[in-house]
Amino acid sequence: MPIVDPLSDKEIADRLAELPGWELSADGTALVRTYRLAHLAAAILAVHIAQVQAELDHHSDLTLGYDTLGVSITTHSAGSRLTAKDFGLAARIAAIAPAHGAQ
């Protein structure tokens, strides 16, 4: 797997401003978002996200709740720091989530 350079704090802030609803984890090492949607729709969105992750060869942690789907994205190979790959995956997820009724 190629080495991916971590982003600077400014790059992270600039890119985060372009992703409404996403925020940094408490420790600043991941992009996180919780989507609220109908229970079965959450499961279907999780499968759709898994397909995107396979396409991009970049994977997040997904937490399925009754009417929520939590997403946490970081680049483990960069020392659990944020990279452009994380923001690319978050943008793809943000693009597909509304079609599943996610808020």
Query: How many separate domains does the chain show?
Result: 1
Which CATH number goes with the domain that contains 86? Answer: 3.30.1360.20
Query: Each residue of 4-40: pLDDT tens digit?
Result: 899 999 999 999 999 999 999 999 999 999 999 998 9
Per-residue confidence (pLDDT) for residue 27, from 0 to 100: 97
> Taking the alpha carbons of 96, 74, 37, 15 in that order, is the dihedral positive or negative?
negative
Per-residue confidence (pLDDT) for residue 3, from 0 to 100: 66
Beta pairing, strands 61-64 & 23-24: unpaired
Across the strands, what pairs with 71? 33, 62
Which phi and psi angles does 17 have, rounded to 5°?
-65, -20
Amino acid at residue number 4: V
Q: Considering the domain boundaries, does residue 3 fall inside one?
A: no
Question: Residue 1 pLDDT more than 60?
Answer: no
Its domain, for residue 80, covers 11-100
pTM: 0.95
DSSP letter assigned to residue 28: S
